[in-house]
């Protein structure tokens, strides 16, 4: 029994020794690791100037980048403004071209109308010459049958029109215009009162007289000494003498025609109108 106790004591002592030895080994390992950690060299320190230099470089790079960005933005704005300007011009050109197209269409239609008129004008031109000749013949016959005032002037006008018929340098339109002008002058004769000097047969002798024309109603004369008076009788186609009772009236009419007196009533031997046959 004592031996058994001794063995138990010896086992307990052995276990205690083993535990103590393990603790020492663990402590030694911990000390070694701690020693190794303290022995590691310290990290190098970065100078402040280097940090500032890097910051400065970053600022310079950022400034350059901003300059490029601003330049690109300005170019973009300029391009946008140019684009808007060009688009306005394009819109204006579209409107202008649309207007031109309408004008061209109208011009083409007008050209076709003119071509048609030219084709018709050739036919009209061939028909105009006979018409002009007939108009001159009619005018000449009218003057011949009319009251013979300004006879020489009117005959020369008709002769001028006939001479122009054969002129190649005068167009058909101009010849027609001249004939119409002659007709207009003849029409105006019937609306005016005038006086002019000439010769008339007085007692079978050609004497200087002053003629008084009142439209186409009457053609009267009075000798320069105011002693002889007469009027044109279109039925007899000759001048017939008038009595002295018309001397004052004719003299007044001459003064009115010369604008030496105001318009007034005159007592003259005017033939009564006749019914047209």
96-121 residue pLDDT tens = 899 999 999 999 999 988 888 777 77
Q: Where residue 6 falls among pLDDT bands split at 50, 70, 90?
A: very low
Average pLDDT over residues 145-160: 93
Tokens for 165, please give them: 């018929």
Q: Using an 8 Å Cβ cutoff, are 187 and 199 in contact? A: no
Q: What is the dihedral of CA 240, 244, 245, 250, to 10 degrees?
A: 70
Q: Are residues 203 and 245 in the same domain?
A: yes
Residue 38 lies in a domain: no
Residue 163 lies in a domain: yes
Residue 142: which residues within 8 A CB-CB, separation 6 or more? 186
Which residue(s) pair with 241 in the sheet? 230
Q: Where residue 46 falls among pLDDT bands split at 50, 70, 90?
A: low
Residue among 226, 213, 202, 199 at smallest CA distance from 253: 213
Residue 19 lies in a domain: no
Average pLDDT over residues 179-199: 93
pLDDT score, position 5: 47
Structural domain ending residue among the three candidates 189, 206, 224: 189
Residue 11 lies in a domain: no
Residue 64 lies in a domain: no
Q: 150: domain range? A: 128-189
Q: Are residues 249 and 210 in the same domain?
A: yes
Dump the DSSP string for the chain.
-HHHHHHHHHHHHHHHHHHHHHHHHHHHHHHHHHHHHHHSPPPPPPPHHHHHHHHHHHHHHHHHHHHHHHHHHHHHHHHHHHHHHHHHHHHHHHHHHHHHHHHHHHHHHHHHHHHHHHHHHHHHHHHHHHHHHHHHHHHHHHHHHS--TTHHHHHHHHHHHHHHTT-TTS-HHHHHHHHHHHHHHHHHHTT-EEEEEEEEEETTEEEEEEEEEETTTEEEEEETTS--EEEEETTTTEEEEE-GGGHHHHHHHHHHHTTSS--------PPPP----
Q: Using an 8 Å Cβ cutoff, are 224 and 236 in contact? A: no
Average pLDDT over residues 52-57: 77
Q: Please give the model's pTM, rounded to 2 decimal places.
A: 0.55
pLDDT score, position 20: 47
Q: Which residue has the higher pLDDT, 254 or 22?
A: 254
With 50 as the cut, is the pLDDT of residue 242 above it? yes
pLDDT score, position 163: 93
pLDDT score, position 60: 83
Residue 232 lies in a domain: yes
Q: Are residues 241 and 203 in the same domain?
A: yes
Domain count, the chain: 2
pLDDT score, position 43: 58
Average pLDDT of the chain is: 82
């Amino acid at each position: 029994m004592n031996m058994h106790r001794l063995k138990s004591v010896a086992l307990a002592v052995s276990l205690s020794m083993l535990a103590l030895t393990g603790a020492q080994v663990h402590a030694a390992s911990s000390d070694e690791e701690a020693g190794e950690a303290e022995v590691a060299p310290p990290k190098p320190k970065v100078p402040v100037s280097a940090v500032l230099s890097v910051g400065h470089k970053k600022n310079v790079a950022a400034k350059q980048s901003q300059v490029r960005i601003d330049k690109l933005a300005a170019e973009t704005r300029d391009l946008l403004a140019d684009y808007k300007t060009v688009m306005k011009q394009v819109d204006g050109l579209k409107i202008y071209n649309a207007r031109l197209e309408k004008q061209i269409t109208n011009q083409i239609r007008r050209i076709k109308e003119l071509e048609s008129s030219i084709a018709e004008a050739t036919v009209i031109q061939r028909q105009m010459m006979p018409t002009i000749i007939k108009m001159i013949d009619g005018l000449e016959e009218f003057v011949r049958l009319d009251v013979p005032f300004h006879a020489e002037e009117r005959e020369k006008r008709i002769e001028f029109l006939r001479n122009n018929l054969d002129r190649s340098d005068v167009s058909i339109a101009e010849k027609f215009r001249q004939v119409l002008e002659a007709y207009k002058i003849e029409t105006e004769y019937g609306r005016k009162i005038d006086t002019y000097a000439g010769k008339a047969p007085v007692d079978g002798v050609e004497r200087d007289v002053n003629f008084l024309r009142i439209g186409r109603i009457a053609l009267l004369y009075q000798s320069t000494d105011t002693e002889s008076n007469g009027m044109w009788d279109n039925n007899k186609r000759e001048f017939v003498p008038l009595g002295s009772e018309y001397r004052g009236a004719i003299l007044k009419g001459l003064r009115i025609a010369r604008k030496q007196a105001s318009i007034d009533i005159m007592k003259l031997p005017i033939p009564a109108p006749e019914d047209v046959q």
